[in-house]
Amino acid sequence: MADQNLPDLSSEASSVPETPVPATTSAVETKEKYLRFTILQRIEHITFLLSFTLLGFTGLPQKYANSSFGQGILAMLGGIETTRLIHHFSAAVMMVISIYHVMEVLYKLYVERTPWTMLPVVDDIRHVLQDIQYYLGFRKRRAYYGRYSYAEKAEYLALVWGTVIMGLTGFMMWNPITTARFMSGQAIPAAKAAHGAEAVLAVLAIILWHFYHVHVRNFNKSMFIGTLSYEEMEHEHPAELAEITARKVKSALSLPEIRKRQRIFFPIAGVLTITLGFGVIEFLTIEKTAITTIPRGETAAVFVPATPTPRPTPSPMPTPDQNRPVGSDTWDGFYQALFRNRCDSCHGATQVGGLSLKTYQNALDGGKSGPAIVPGDPDNSLLVQKQASGSHPGQLAIDELDKVINWIQTGAPEK
């Protein structure tokens, strides 16, 4: 198999290409190098590879955002918003490189008249069947691949399909308002479903198909160094090698003819590139999907006190009418009731300050500070002193106090 015959690439011996004749392989001929990819194509591949990898690496954790795998990568990349930024940037790179690729293909087809060897043909299906026969032992060797084997063609087609799908669905997700102007809004979640599933398909296909064919089975370095050796060509592209050696491949076109086609191609390609470039800019900027501020929260005012219940109308406790006809101007006749109503809260049971005004004797005894009532001497009666200040909690009215003073003046009779 091919890996048994890995060419010694360290010997950079490809000097003057002598005529390679597969039938009579000489040592010189096997050191021939066959150019497959120009430096521009290799740069194109690296750029596409990087954008693809970044897109996959930033896209899949978004699809699986709530798995531990997704969470881990999102955290590593600095959160989901940063991840989206990287994803969008990579998408822009891929769009630009894809436009470049379209222009390159058109140039090769029109100006250089390169045969469209990437196009799948019926032979490719035959090659698949031949290879299966070979694997199963019904055939002596693999199919004779041309410039591109069915494996490469399948991959290229998948890439074109994938890029188109991802571009379209990506646009719809990036610009949902614009999309909804032209189709049902449900196309946007559908685009999201397709974008995610296509991504899984693309990444798995790259790992399974691409990695196997160019890294595992045989490390094909042509995409990085540009050339394949004679042995590699013999194993990977025998039909193309045969064509080259049989000189079936047309030699370079005449310069004037190329110039003539370039004069037609470049203006058209220029307009096309500008149009597509404009398309990319539109893709990135066509709409401002959402506000960048936090949406308004509760609009009602927070502190709106309910109207308080009105205070109950005061209804003061009735006091004895001092001018009532019954009752005499004595402790029993008037003052006991007056003091009970006005003073009893504190100078009743609780004897605040040691003073009780429950009985005549209590009043004469007084509290800690001395007798409340000194018959005949209102000035030395503490009750009068306290009340005269006007700020005692249980305050007597002025005419009530006058009446008390008069009563004490007259000896404060009990009965």
Partner 1 sequence: MPVRCPSSSFFLIALGFLLIVVPVSLWGGGAYTQVALAASLSQESNPGEPTPQMSISDDTCLQCHSQPGLTMTLDDGDVLELNVSADEYAASIHGKQGYACVQCHTKVGNYPHPAWTAASRRDTTLALSTVCYRCHSSQYEKAQDSVHGAAQASGNKNAAVCTDCHTAHTVRQLTDPKTNKLRSESHVLIPQMCSKCHNAIFQKYTDSVHGAALIDENNQDVPTCISCHGVHNIENPTTAYFRLNSPQICAKCHTDKKIMAKYGISTDVLTTYVADFHGTTVSVFEKQSPDAEVNKAVCFDCHGIHDIQRVDDPVAGIQLKENLLLRCKICHPDATANFPSAWLSHYAPSAENNRLVYFVDLFYKLLIPAVLGGMGLLVALDLSHTLYTKYRKRKPAPPPASSPQTPVEEGQNG
Min dist CB 192 to partner 1, Å, is 7
Residue 64 and residue 58: Cα distance in Å, rounded? 11
- Which CA distances in Å does 90 have to 59, 85, 139, 330, 394? 10, 9, 45, 107, 87
Contact 185, 172 (CB under 8 A): no
CB-based contacts of 178, cutoff 8 Å, min separation 6: 286, 287
Q: Under the criterion CB under 8 A, does residue 368 sit at the interface with partner 1?
A: no
Token duo for residue 6:
């890995």
Q: Under the criterion CB under 8 A, does residue 27 sit at the interface with partner 1?
A: no
Nearer to partner 1, 94 or 143 (CB): 143
Nearer to partner 1, 297 or 325 (CB): 297
Q: Which of 45, 88, 192, 261 binds partner 1 (CB under 8 A)?
A: 192
Q: Which of 85, 118, 160, 201 binds partner 1 (CB under 8 A)?
A: 201
Question: Quick one: which H or E segment has residue 255?
Answer: helix 255-285
Q: Which of 62, 222, 336, 362 binds partner 1 (CB under 8 A)?
A: 62
Q: Which of 27, 39, 317, 326 binds partner 1 (CB under 8 A)?
A: 317
Min dist CB 337 to partner 1, Å, is 16
Q: Under the criterion CB under 8 A, does residue 340 sit at the interface with partner 1?
A: no
Token duo for residue 351:
């004897």
Q: Which of 27, 122, 252, 290 binds partner 1 (CB under 8 A)?
A: 290
Min dist CB 170 to partner 1, Å, is 13
Min dist CB 263 to partner 1, Å, is 43
Distance of CA 51 to the CA centre of its chain: 20
Closest CA to 386 of 415, 350, 345, 343: 343
Contact 214, 223 (CB under 8 A): yes
Q: Under the criterion CB under 8 A, does residue 204 sit at the interface with partner 1?
A: yes
Q: Under the criterion CB under 8 A, does residue 316 sit at the interface with partner 1?
A: yes
Question: Quick one: which H or E segment has residue 34?
Answer: strand 33-35
Residue 66 and residue 274: Cα distance in Å, rounded? 41
Residue 299 and residue 69: Cα distance in Å, rounded? 40
Q: Under the criterion CB under 8 A, does residue 23 sit at the interface with partner 1?
A: no
Q: Which of 303, 326, 389, 415 binds partner 1 (CB under 8 A)?
A: 303
Q: Identity (one letter) of the amino acid at 315?
A: S
- Which CA distances in Å does 117 have to 34, 108, 209, 345, 357? 16, 11, 20, 114, 123
Nearer to partner 1, 65 or 280 (CB): 65
Number of residues near partner 1 (by CB under 8 A): 96
Q: Which stretch binds partner 1 (CB under 8 A): 41-49, 52-60, 347-355, 365-373?
A: 347-355
Considering only residues 107 through 166, tell me which ones interact with partner 1, judged by CB under 8 A: 128, 131-132, 134-137, 139-142, 151, 154, 158
Closest CA to 235 of 30, 15, 16, 17: 30
Residue 293 and residue 201: Cα distance in Å, rounded? 36
Nearer to partner 1, 256 or 305 (CB): 305
Q: Under the criterion CB under 8 A, does residue 291 sit at the interface with partner 1?
A: yes
Min dist CB 24 to partner 1, Å, is 12
Residue 144 and residue 147: Cα distance in Å, rounded? 10
Q: Under the criterion CB under 8 A, does residue 323 sit at the interface with partner 1?
A: no
Nearer to partner 1, 306 or 326 (CB): 306
Q: Under the criterion CB under 8 A, does residue 297 sit at the interface with partner 1?
A: yes
Q: Which of 124, 231, 232, 240 binds partner 1 (CB under 8 A)?
A: 231
Nearer to partner 1, 256 or 393 (CB): 393
Residue 190 and residue 59: Cα distance in Å, rounded? 16
Min dist CB 172 to partner 1, Å, is 9
